[in-house]
Amino acid sequence: MDPSHQPRICISLCEPTVAALEGAIAAAVRNSHLIEVRLDCLEPLELKNRAAAITKLLQEAPCESILTFRPAEEGGRRELDEAARQTFWSDAIFSSSFFDVELDLAENFQTSETSPSMPIDWSRTICSHHDFAGVPDKLDQIYSRMSRTPARVAVQAKDAIDCLPVFQLLERAREDGREMIAIAMGIAGVATRILGPSRGGFLTYASLDSETATAPGQLSVSELTDVYRLEKLDRHTQILGLVGSPVSHSLSPLIHNSAFAATGTNAVYVLFETQDIKTFIRRMIHPRTRELDWRLRGLSVTAPHKFTVMEQLDWVEPAAREIGAVNTIVVEGEALHGFNTDAPGFIKPLVQVFGDLHDARCAVIGAGGAASAVLWILKEAGAKATLFVRDAGKASALVARFGADWMPLEGARFEGFDVVINATPLGTLGQLESEAPATASQLRGARLVYDLVYNPTETKFLREAREAGCQTLGGLVMLVAQAAEQFKLWTDAAPPEGVMREAGERGLKKR
């Protein structure tokens, strides 16, 4: 296992029959030079009666392979006690480039006088440990126990902060000159799958497609190569990302990474799902306190952290302070600077379609962070805004800050308004998809309806607006416009807005 020649991506294959495995290998070798064959996924009779066919298949495959026989407690598809696993590997006749054996079993083979001998080559064996409960306190001890072979550690991340010990384990292995695979599983750990190889990891695992993942948070090979450009990442790559909870639905990685690729920028944008923004910023982000040596350039911030993150920053632009929300962080030397690109991102496409907003009558539905940014920028543009909400308490706080009028949403009519803006999550893909903040009869007589929801592209609110005869504007234009403003802040370069818009449209078509 020479690190200078190691593949970066290993496609994990989990198939029930040899015939299905043959097809999967044929598909995998078009995308990678290394595959993992999960023997525990094969039906028992296929594994027992077709061992020779499996070996022949692997010998003839134009790639290297890792053989794995994983028990259920370590993420496998079978209930296998230690005796069954010992017998399997003792009798194994399979031919493979590498073998993956669990830590407990490897120790028994190496130390027990009563255990049967293991015929496979230890120099080609990866010793592995999986923990689906979380990150064990004694991770260093587990690493030390794996001293005789290359090591593979996979732990369950419940928060992006759990990536920290995994990255630190990779750094220790790099300093020790050891070959190491370290992964934090789950959406909160996805950054380790993307950044691991560039930080010394032997490889990262991928699935053939989004339907065949073999572990929580595992990305497809096309995501790793086409979106994150994993094979181009190195220790000089600038790191950016989205912090919030949840984040898995976001189009931002596709939009920003497409922009970096189009401009030849050595940067990557990843996801960080966390509930504890204070600890996350302190331990992983702030240059003066973080416990990780990486080239972090900045972050996008989404719910529920746009307000609370302000307390963790060294400087916040006046506009963001007035709005009461930060959605963009830039690392400037030893300091963190906060900005709000939602406001300019909202108004730029609106002005392009509508024109000058001075004295325009604008109805804003909602009372959250998005509504705050909208009200602030409408005030700056000289528009006359009226807030429509269900909660009078929330309305009074916002109108006092931004000098707007307010009316109850129930029974509201929007005839005579130039622009009606949905700043609520109603209509978002999922549980809220069938809802809209207003009906066609309520919207009739309004000139333009602007829905800040971008997924799905065609929301129920926009359908109601078209039925009412209104001009419409969807939320993707705002998402791209605010992302373009972020790109400028992070790179000091002109953003490729056409590329970013096409990436967003492409991402929505796949959902």
pLDDT higher than 70, residue 339 = yes
Per-residue pLDDT for 119 more than 70?
A: no
| pLDDT, mean of residues 352-367 | 96
pLDDT band at residue 5 under the 50/70/90 scheme: very low
Q: Which residues pair with 329 in a beta bridge?
A: 299, 338
| Phi, psi torsion values for 54, nearest 5 degrees | -65, -45
The answer to whether 306 is a known catalytic residue is yes
232-259 in b/e burial notation, b at 16+ Cβ within 10 A?
ebeeebbbbbbbbbebeebbbbbbbbbb
DSSP state of 231: G
Distance CA 45, CA 17 (A): 9
Contact indicator for 42, 98 with CB cutoff of 8 Å: no
Question: What's the pLDDT score for residue 117?
Answer: 60
Cα separation of 229 and 477, whole Å? Answer: 25
Cα distance between residue 69 and residue 89, in whole Å: 9
Separation of alpha carbons 364 and 406, rounded Å = 9
Alpha helices per DSSP H over 436-493: 440-443, 460-467, 476-491
Q: Mean pLDDT throughout 189-207? A: 96
pLDDT over 50 at 253, yes or no: yes
Both tokens assigned to 235: 């220790």
Half-sphere exposure of 110 (CA within 13 A, CB side): 17
Q: Tell me what percent of the chain is helix, strand and coil, each rounded to the nearest 5.
A: 40, 20, 40
In this structure, of 2-6, 58-62, 339-343, 507-511, the range with the lowest mean pLDDT score is: 2-6
Q: What are phi and psi of 11, to 5 degrees?
A: -90, 120
Bridge partners (DSSP) of residue 65 are: 35
The helix (H) or strand (E) run that includes residue 332 is strand 328-332
Q: Give whole-number Cα distances, 104 to 98, 127, 511, in Å.
A: 18, 9, 41
Average pLDDT, the chain: 92
Active-site option among 278, 306, 488, 509: 306
What strands, in cross-sheet order, belong to the sheet with 9-13? 180-185, 151-156, 125-131, 98-102, 64-68, 34-38, 9-13, 204-206
Residue 114 pLDDT greater than 60, yes or no: no
For residues 112 and 349, which has the higher predicted lDDT (pLDDT)? 349
> Is there a contact between 219 and 248 (Cβ–Cβ < 8 Å)?
no
pLDDT for residue 89 is more than 70: yes
**In the chain, % of residues over pLDDT 70:** 96
- Token output for 137: 């306190």
Instruction: Write out the two tokens for 129.
Output: 């440990």
- Summarize pLDDT for 120-174 with one digit per residue, the tens: 677 788 999 999 999 998 898 999 988 777 789 999 999 999 999 999 999 999 9
At residue 113, the pLDDT reads 54
Radius of gyration of the chain (CA): 27
Residue 237 one-letter amino acid = T
Q: What is the pLDDT of residue 118?
A: 61
Are the beta carbons of 239 and 467 closer than 8 angstroms? no
- Domains and their CATH numbers in the chain: 3-235 (3.20.20.70), 242-340+491-509 (3.40.50.10860), 343-474 (3.40.50.720)
